[in-house]
Each structure stands twice: as structure tokens, then as C-alpha cells.
Structure 1
Amino acid sequence: MIEAMDAIAREQEELAALIERFSGEDGVHATAVPSLHLIRSSAVTEPIYTVHQPALCIVAQGAKVVMLAQESFRYGPADYLVVSVDLPVSGQIVQASPDRPYLCFRLDFDPNEVVAIVEESALTPNQTGKAGRGLFVSRTNSALLGAVIRLMRLLESPEDVPVLAPLISREILYRILKGEQGDVLAQIATAGGASGRIADVIERIRRHYEQPLRIEELASLANMSASSLHRHFKEVTAMSPLQYQKQLRLQEARRLLLAEASDAADVGFRVGYESPSQFSRECARLFGLPPMTDMKRLRKTAGQRTI
């Protein structure tokens, strides 16, 4: 047991060194592997709001807290975080310094890759009939870290990336599926399963977030009753469909206000609000300040975006 823990500690140190080497400065850094990003921060941050797409995140140094609705998930070098569906979250780096910066490996993935791995392997997801949360934190292990380090080492030989990166990425997903919470991720690959059907509903809401929410249509898409839809949707996202849509609208409005010199009321209308006062009130409820005041604060911290 002690030897295994020592081995994991050495792998975490190697991963941290590789992330530091290929990032070099604070920020989110693209790599030669299209789905791989490296994140570095030499200071703690304010909460950053985003819609987190399906991804694996491994913190090699430092710590982060991710908020999903009212739920808090803290993870550091002993853990990894998996997001299996698009989720509106806030993330805050809570442990970082110039001497020991926050260092994170983020591998984005397509849920269809999970479906393919489950179908091609002998994995048999546990069919509970209950949808699993679309975000979880689990303990790292040597098999997963080994595959992650091999993917990082490919950055030293970019000519090998087109052939080897897809293979190692699949291995990483396979290691997660074999992990202690692999069933939660595998549920999206279960034919007819609640998680997969809720993922379809999430996609519909994301595509048409500015339109009025029609629960009966969403329930029909998921082949569920309205009450079942609400229950399973909350199991996956920790919020109701209406709350999910509201967070999408507010985050998109925030993005537009930051990117354009637009009037707050106009942006509110564009994302689906019929009342400027309602838009301002809900923006203040989520972000703590009304839209234009929030923009002044956000522009001061725009360089901190490290989700």
C-alpha cells in the first residue's frame, strides 16, 4: 500500500512538472493534442462561471472548488473530476501561489466516445434505473495517471500525436469507466437509460435556450412524463430544466456584455428575457451584482479565466 502511494505521488510530481513545462505562464493553454488543455494559475481566483463541457480534469498541484447549483466539489492532486454532460458551473481556484502554482490537466471528450468504449469492451454498466449526477469527483489511481502522463509526453514529439493521442485518450476514458465511479459515466452509454435521455434534453435546451421552455415537448423527447423528466433532470444536473435554462441565459448574456458594447436591456432580450428588470434581478441573484456593474468587475478579472 505504501509503495503504491509513493508511486502515485511520483506520478503526480511528474505530471505537475510536465504541465509546468508546457504551460509556462498563467492561463488556459491549447496543446498539440486538440482535446487537451493545460491550466496554470499562480494565485487564487474569484468564482468563474461557465458551461462546463464533458471533460476529465486532474489537478496536479493546488486545489479547486467547483459549484454545481448548491453542491460543492473540491478536488486536488489526490482526485480527478469528470463532467459527463454540459453543466453550468462556477469554478474557483482556492490553493495556488507563485512558488506552487495551480496546475491542471483538462481532457475534453465526446460522450459518443464513451458509448463506443462501453460497446466494444466487456464493461457492463450498473443499471439502477436512476440517472447519475453529471459531475463527480473520484480518487486518482496509478493506471489512470500512467495513461495521462503518456499523453502529456506526446507533447515532446508532436509528430506522434495524430496516431497515438486518440489511442491514449480512449485508454484514459476506459480507466475512468473501470474506476470506482465508472458506472456514473457509463450511464450515458446505456441504451434507453435515463441519463442518456436527459443528455438529449440538455442538448435541446442548449440549442434553444432563448426560447420559452416547453416541458411537455422535452418530456416527449425523453419519453418520460413531466414529473419523471423533472426528477431525472435534477438527478443529473442538480437543478430543474427551468433553472438550467436560466443559468444558460445569464451566462450567455454575461459573455455578450463582455464581448460587445451592448446595452444590458438589449442583451437581456436577445437571450430570452421579456423584462429588463427581471433580467437585472436574476443577474444580480446569480452573479451578485446587476449586469453593468458586474461587467466592470468581470473586466478586471478577465485574465483569471481558468476553468
Structure 2
Amino acid sequence: MPDQIHEQQNELATLIDRFSDNDGVHPTGIPSLFLIRESVVTEPIFRVNEPSFCIIVQGEKEVLLGQDRFRYGPGSYIVATVDLPVSGQVIQASSEAPYLALKLEFTSSEILEVLNHSDFPARPRKTTRRAMFVSQAEPSLLDAVVRLARLLEDHSEDIPLLAPLFKKEILYKVLKGPHGIALEQATMEGSHTHRIRDVIEYIMNHSEQNFQVEELADLANMSTASLHRHFKEVTAMSPIQFQKQLRLQEARRLLISKSTDAADVAFQVGYESPSQFSREYSRMFGFPPREDIKRLRGGSDETTTIS
């Protein structure tokens, strides 16, 4: 089995290398499939990680979710089951052996379709799991990923029919894996994770607005204490911390993309006090806004993906 996994990883690395000739995130002819390449160790990159499956075949990466650290390397895959504000850093890469990864985004409806056509044993709805996990890829999962990637080799006529089938197979294998229940719960109506997902969607759509925790609890049909507990179990942070990360990430994006005053941006993203904004920005990114943006404009590209 180790030889089989090694061969599968080598083939996948060859395919990713062939179709990503420079650093960055590369969309492909297959919807929701991206190839990622980095030839240097990167700074931490902050963004919202959408529901996705990402497998690494070369190099190593570390993702920070709240206070949780997820480190993964060749043969490992990481899954986010809901939208999550995270930071990620390539920690092992070189021009001779670049970081190579394949990312596949998915939707709740795609997970439900797999569940509805599969005979999974009944699993508890009330057990809340973290919405991000790392696991080792089995040969059968790697085989499905390799077959999906092979479609990039002049098989464009096969993509409309075969790519959705291979994607379902990948999701099915993840659902059958040791952490599959976390993915399942994010789509199970009535589960704690599903209700927290609704709260996450609300916060993301209203991140610049102030809200009362009681409002979020009503939305989730939970008590405030239950909302706090389950929200933290799913996201590794409180609703307020989640909102703060969204605000600061959006502020950084605005500062990078526009010649805008930091105080104006602070108000745009929902801060009432520029001094508080500056303190929290420095705490999250390590530099005051003006210094950070000057540094970034002369350095790394903050549009790089996390996974």
C-alpha cells in the first residue's frame, strides 16, 4: 500500500506541476477545481476559507483557525465544512521542490446529493464537531483525485460527464472517512452544526453591523449559552471573534486595493473607534495598518488562497 500511495502522489504532483507553471492559484477547465503552487515559504495569509477539500502532494502548510493549528503535508488532506476565517502559511517549499496542492470546492447541495444516494448508517445529529479537519488520504481516495486531475490532459470533452462523477466519488470517500461526520453534520437540517452554519452566513452578510448575541441565538433556535458553546465548537472562536476576523480581513483588503485612509476603512467595516481598529489590526496582522500595507504593497500578494 505505501508503494501505491507513493505512485499516486507522484502522478498527482506531475499533473499539478504541468498545469501550474508559476506560483499562485490556478483555475482549471474543471469547475471548482484549483491547482496551487508555491516555490517559497510564505507569510501567513488571511482569508475566508470556503467549504472545500484540499490535498497536498509536496511541501507542507499550516493553517490557524482561532487557536487551533492544522499542519499537513504530502498525502494529507484538509476539509473545511463551512465558511471560516483562517490564516495559512506554506512552511516547506523551494524552487526545486515547490509546494503543490489540489483544491476542490463544494456546496452543501452536493454533499446532500451524495448522502441521499448513499446508505450511510444513522449518525447522531446532536454531536457538534469542528468545521475543519485534517486526515490521511487512503489509496481509493487518491485514485479518485488522480482520475479527476487526469481530465486536464486533453480530455475536455469528457469533463462535463466525468468530472461531476469523480467529484461525487471524492466527497463520498471523505464522508466515509474518520471525520466524515463533521462534513455530514454541516448539511443535516436540524443538527447543531447546520444551525451554526446559518448564524455564520448571517454574520458574513452583516459583518459591518453590530448585533446582539440574543439575535443570533434566536436565529439558531438556541439559548445564548448554547449558541456560544456550539459556535465555538464548530469555529474555534466566539461569534464576536468571528465577526472581528471578518472585519479586519475586509479592512486589509480595502487598504491594499485602494488608496484609502485607515480611519475611513475602520468606519466602513463597522468600527466606531479608529484607535481600537488600529490596536486590533496590529494584534491580528503584527503591524499597524499603514506600516502593514506599505510592507505588503512592496512584497507578497495577499490574494493567494489558504488551502
TM range (shorter): over 0.9
- Of 116, 119, 123, 1:119 maps to 116
For 1:145-224, list aligned pairs within 5 A. 145-156=142-153, 157-224=155-222
- Of 124, 131, 134, 2:131 maps to 134
- Give the drift of 1:295: 0.6
Counterpart CA distance in 2 for 1:112 and 1:300 is 41
- Of 251, 254, 257, 1:253 maps to 251
Counterpart CA distance in 2 for 1:177 and 1:65 is 23
In the superposition, relative to structure 1, how do residues 105 and 261 fare at CA in structure 2: closer, same or farther (>3 Å)? same
Counterpart CA distance in 2 for 1:165 and 1:12 is 19
For 1:1-307, list aligned pairs within 5 A. 4-124=1-121, 126-127=123-124, 129-156=126-153, 157-303=155-301, 305-307=304-306
- Give the drift of 1:180: 1.2
Q: Verify the 8 A CA contact 1:31 1:38 in the aligned structure 2.
A: yes
Counterpart CA distance in 2 for 1:47 and 1:300 is 16
For residues 256-289 of structure 1, the C-alpha deviation after alignment (integer angstroms, 9 at most, x for no partner) is 1111111110011000000110111110010011
Letter in 2 for 1:38: L
Three-state SS of the structure 2 residue aligned to 1:144 is helix
Q: Which has the higher helix share?
A: 1
Letter in 2 for 1:187: Q
Q: Verify the 8 A CA contact 1:233 1:241 in the aligned structure 2.
A: yes
Counterpart CA distance in 2 for 1:276 and 1:125 is 51
Counterpart CA distance in 2 for 1:250 and 1:240 is 15
Letter in 1 for 2:238: S
In the superposition, relative to structure 1, how do residues 10 and 254 fare at CA in structure 2: closer, same or farther (>3 Å)? same
Counterpart CA distance in 1 for 2:211 and 2:132 is 24
Three-state SS of the structure 1 residue aligned to 2:301 is helix
Unaligned runs of 5+ residues in structure 2 are none
Report the number of matched residues. Answer: 304
Counterpart CA distance in 2 for 1:211 and 1:291 is 21
Task: State TM-score, norm by structure 2.
Answer: 0.96
Counterpart CA distance in 2 for 1:150 and 1:61 is 18
- Give the drift of 1:161: 1.3
Unaligned runs of 5+ residues in structure 1 are none
Task: State TM-score, norm by structure 1.
Answer: 0.96
Q: Verify the 8 A CA contact 1:81 1:135 in the aligned structure 2.
A: yes
- Give the drift of 1:306: 4.3
- Give the drift of 1:213: 2.1
- Give the drift of 1:111: 1.9
Q: Verify the 8 A CA contact 1:41 1:306 in the aligned structure 2.
A: no
- Give the drift of 1:125: 5.2
Counterpart CA distance in 1 for 2:262 and 2:220 is 35
Letter in 1 for 2:148: L
Counterpart CA distance in 1 for 2:12 and 2:44 is 25
Letter in 2 for 1:198: I
- Give the drift of 1:113: 1.2
Identity of aligned residues (%): 57
